[in-house]
Amino acid sequence: MKFNSVAFVAARQKQAQEALKSLKERYDSVPPSKADVIVVLGGDGFMLRTLHKYLHRNVPIYGMNRGSVGFLMNTFRETGLMRRLQRAEPIVLHPLRMIATDARGKKHEALAINEVSLLRYTRLAAKLRILVDGHVRLEEMICDGALVSTAAGSTAYNLSANGPIIPLGAELLALTPISAFRPRQWRGALLPAEAKVTFEVLDAKQRPVSAVADDMAVRNVRKVDVVEDRTVAPVLLFDPEHNLEDRILREQFMV
């Protein structure tokens, strides 16, 4: 890949801002609105926010880790950036589209690169009915919540909730319970990428639930539909030796 104009964006943390200053001194740059590649300096959280912010630009995004985990980021180096961008390998992501209906019947839409999660927010456990493609698969689950994860997000909250890691390209989604009390033995399901998952909140008045698409939250939901949106396709760039597919594979052998 050859890029003619580069933009730099950075998280507020000190090390990200210091990296931003150094890179702008070393390389010519333009505003993100005019760039044909955006270089992100920060951690995974900032990368997700940047992906959401510039979805409409439809330009590749290359991250360098100036945060903590950095699963979606490349190693930070000041030198050789243009060469790294030329050699970088693209990964196309397809986010989830959440349509959440609240207690007043109002619909809220949002995209999630990682996952859509439902969570209780009082002392009482949530009660959820789960449908897949319109068919009831769980009549009632008593739990702290549940989530639907993309492959790219399967190593994030999904993994913390003991969900499966999904290789990129597997065309699968993870449906994972969060601290399920009943049915106690259910550990979740792997679904085709084109599946539509619907959560119906039971006893919603006494057991209120919020729905979260990455970092966009809706409280007091009654129903949440989740489906992969193939019309949206942000592109992440990775160094060949730091490929996201290989990292997801290696994550499955971590002990």
Q: Which residues are catalytic?
A: 44
Tell me which DSSP letter residue 36 carries: S
- Cβ atoms of 194 and 228 within 8 Å: the answer is yes
Per-position DSSP letters for 110-150, written without gaps between them: EEESSEEEEEE-SSSPEEEEEEETTEEEEEEEEESEEEEE-
